[in-house]
Structure formats: C-alpha cells, structure tokens
C-alpha cells in the first residue's frame, strides 16, 4: 500500500475546491473561448492509473493558484474519452495521461505529463 494510502479518493467530489469538472464538448468550446480572457489549464486524469493518481495528489497538495489567475478543469478520461481526443485535436498536443495543458488566447502554451506535472511550472505560464 505504501505511499498510496495517503492519497485522496478519486471521486470527483474530492477535487480541490477551485477546480471545475470538464464533462462536455460544448463546455470545451466555451473554455477555449474563455482562454482569451484568462489562462485555462486542463488536467487529464485516469482514475485507474497510479501515476495519474499521484499527479492529482501532488497538484492538490501544492495548489496555491488563485481562481482569478487561472481556470483549472479536471477531465476524467475514463468517463469522457471523446473530450480528451477533441482536446488533442484543438490544441495539437498529443494525448498523454496524466497530462496538464495550459491554454491562453485559444492556443496551448504549455503541456506536461506524468511525473513532470507540478504547480510551479503551471504558475510560470500564467
């Protein structure tokens, strides 16, 4: 069990309080439009992957970004794979899991995956 025993449950209700769930293609279109006003980050998460669970835990533990600085969206890949595919198409960023993509002015300006996901790097692109 080791380090996983301290991780929060993967239930969406356990998301950090400022994170929003991404669960429709219409919502994704609006998110891309909204990125012209404020940066947006998309976190692609597989609830069955230990690496993804660890990345989510690290993001939640280190989260200190204000909602005024960034809109942060959580995507459950197992429930919404078509949305993930559309994100890859719209951003021209190859799908990975876990993965974080920052979008500004409708364009992907940063992406990272797996063990390289962290809050500090996200902040560099705000």
> Which CATH code fits 15-123?
3.40.30.10
Distance CA 38, CA 33 (A): 10
Residue appearing with tokens 């993930």: 84
CB atoms within 10 A of CB 48: 11
Q: Assign 3-state DSSP to the chain and report helix, strand, coil percentages, each to 5.
A: 40, 20, 40
Q: At 13, is the pLDDT very low, low, confident or very high (cuts 50, 70, 90)?
A: very low
Distance CA 59, CA 99 (A): 12
Strands 99-104 and 107-113, how do they pair?
antiparallel
Residue 7 has pLDDT above 60, yes or no: no
Distances in Å between the alpha carbon of 109 and those of 4, 28, 88, 118?
A: 31, 17, 13, 15
Q: What is the pLDDT of residues 75-104, one digit of tens each?
A: 999 999 999 999 999 999 999 999 999 999
Question: Structure pTM?
Answer: 0.86
């Amino acid at each position: 069990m080791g380090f996983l025993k301290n991780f929060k449950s993967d239930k969406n209700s356990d998301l950090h309080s400022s994170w929003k769930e991404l669960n429709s293609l219409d919502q994704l279109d609006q998110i891309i439009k909204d990125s012209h006003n404020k940066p947006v980050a998309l976190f692609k998460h597989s609830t069955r992957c230990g690496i993804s669970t660890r990345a989510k835990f690290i993001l939640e533990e280190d989260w200190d970004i204000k909602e005024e600085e960034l809109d942060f969206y959580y995507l459950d890949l197992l429930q919404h794979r078509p949305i993930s595919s559309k994100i890859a198409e719209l951003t021209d960023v190859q799908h990975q899991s876990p993965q974080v993509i920052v979008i500004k002015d409708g364009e992907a300006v940063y992406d990272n995956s797996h063990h390289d996901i962290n809050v500090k790097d996200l902040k560099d692109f705000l």
